[in-house]
Structure 1
Amino acid sequence: MGFEVRLEGPLLRMRFFDALTHADLAGLAEEMLACEARLPVTPSRLSSLTEVTHVEVGFSEMLAFVERRRAVGPRQPIRSALVVTEAVQFGIARMFQTLNDHPLVTVCIFHDEAAALAWLGEAAAVVRNAGAGP
């Protein structure tokens, strides 16, 4: 498989490498759903596409992935940061962003992991402070 998934504290990290295939998207959807089912809240996510060398998926495969994820939505609002460095990586990230119209998911594309982590950290701070009261 051309991806790995790991939970780091409140963040679900995904790293894609080599070719991005339909099998990768299908496997990722199942792995994410299994991981999320074990957690009390749905984690925000950081997806790094910076090691993807070529893309073997198109619109129909990406739509199937998004629809599979949409069928089991997050428990609360989450953010999804996609990190890219190449034009083809940006193209696939933009397709995902456009198709992902779930009202509880905000997707943003970054060219720098530090900026992505800062954006995700802002969301985590809001969630932590929501229960703090006035």
Structure 2
Amino acid sequence: MAFALWMEGDLIRIRIHDTITPRDLRALADAVLEAEARVLPMPNRLTDMTDVTGVEVGFAEFLAFTERRLGMVLPNPIKSALVVASRVQLGIARMFQTLNDHPQVTVEIFHELGDALSWLATPPSADAQNGPRG
């Protein structure tokens, strides 16, 4: 698997590394849904993509990934921070951000882990006042 997923405090932490394949993306979606099912309120998540070295997935796979959640009513709104280091990683993150149009999920992209953690720690009302950071 090209990812690791764990709970850290009130966050789901995800680290994606090496080459992302369609199989890995499906497994990641399953793992996230499983982790969410065990915790209430539903936790925010931090996805570190800085070790991604290749991509074998495209639009269709990311669309399927985001559509799995689209019809779900979540118990609470969530934030999803994506941390990237390269242009390729930024392109992948932007595709995910664009396709994720769930009304209860806010996705932002960061270049620094600390900035992502700070954003995740801010209350939702502060986010609305400050606007997007991606």
**TM-score scaled to structure 1, two decimals?**
0.89
For these two proteins, the number of residue pairs brought into alignment is 126
The answer to whether the aligner puts 1:19 opposite 2:19 as a matched pair is: yes
SS of the equivalent of 1:4 reads strand
| One-letter amino acid matched to 2:42 | T
Q: Aligned partners of 2:29, 2:73: CA distance in 1, in Å?
A: 12
Q: Aligned partners of 1:4, 1:20: CA distance in 2, in Å?
A: 12
**TM-score scaled to structure 2, two decimals?**
0.89
Give the Å deviation of 1:88.
Answer: 0.4
SS of the equivalent of 1:35 reads helix
Unaligned runs of 5+ in 1: 127-134
Identity %: 53
Partner of residue 10, structure 1: 10
Partner of residue 59, structure 2: 59
Q: Aligned partners of 1:72, 1:26: CA distance in 2, in Å?
A: 17
SS of the equivalent of 2:81 reads strand
- RMSD (Å), alpha carbons: 1.5
Change (3 A) 1:13 1:125: farther
Unaligned runs of 5+ in 2: 127-134
Partner of residue 84, structure 1: 84
Q: Which is higher, the Rg of structure 1 or of structure 2? A: 1
